[in-house]
Homo-oligomer: A and B are copies of this chain.
Amino acid sequence: MATQSREIRLARRPKGEPGADCFAFATVDLPEPGAGEVLVENLCMSVDPYMRGRMNEGKSYVPQFEIGKPLEGTAVGRVVESRDEKVPVGTSVLSMFGWREAYVAKASSLRVIDSSAAPASAYLGILGATGLTAWVGLFTIAKLKDGETVFISAGAGAVGSAACQFAKMRGCRVVASAGSEEKVVYLRDELKVDYAFNYREGDAREHLQKAAPDGLHVYFDNTQGPQLEAALYELAPFGRVAMCGGIAGYNEPVPGPGNLIQAVGKRLRLEGFIVSDHFKELAAMLAEAVPALKAGKLVNRETFVDGLDAAPAAFLDLLHSGAGNIGKMVVRLRQK
Contact = CB atoms under 8 A, between A and B. Distances in A.
Interface of A: 53, 60-62, 224, 228-229, 237, 243-246, 249, 253-274, 277
Given A237-B61, A256-B259, A258-B253, A273 B264 contact: yes
Contact of A273 (B228, B245, B246, B267): B267
A263 to B, nearest CB: 4
A290 to B, nearest CB: 28
Given A224-B260, A256-B258, A269 B270 contact: yes
Interface of A is mostly: loop
A235 to B, nearest CB: 11
Contacts of A271: 263, 267-270
A229 B256 CA distance: 9
A55 to B, nearest CB: 14
A196 to B, nearest CB: 24
A272 B277 contact: no
Closest 10 CB pairs of A and B: A256-B256, A263-B272, A264-B272, A256-B257, A246-B261, A269-B271, A270-B270, A61-B265, A256-B258, A243-B263
Contacts of A273: 264, 267
A255 B253 contact: no
A142 to B, nearest CB: 12
Contacts of A224: 260-261
Nearest to A268: B272
Contacts of A262: 272
A259 B249 CA distance: 10
A119 B109 CA distance: 66
Contacts of A244: 264
Contact of A264 (B245, B256, B264): B245
A59 to B, nearest CB: 10
Contact of A256 (B53, B60, B255, B265): B255
Given A269-B269, A269-B270, A270-B271, A243 B264 contact: yes
A34 to B, nearest CB: 35
B272 A266 contact: yes
A243 B60 CA distance: 24
A314 to B, nearest CB: 23
Given A229-B256, A256-B256, A256-B258, A270 B263 contact: yes
23 contacts: A61-B237, A61-B265, A228-B260, A243-B263, A246-B261, A246-B264, A254-B258, A255-B255, A255-B256, A255-B258, A256-B256, A257-B260, A264-B272, A264-B273, A264-B274, A265-B272, A267-B271, A267-B273, A267-B274, A268-B271, A268-B272, A269-B269, A269-B272
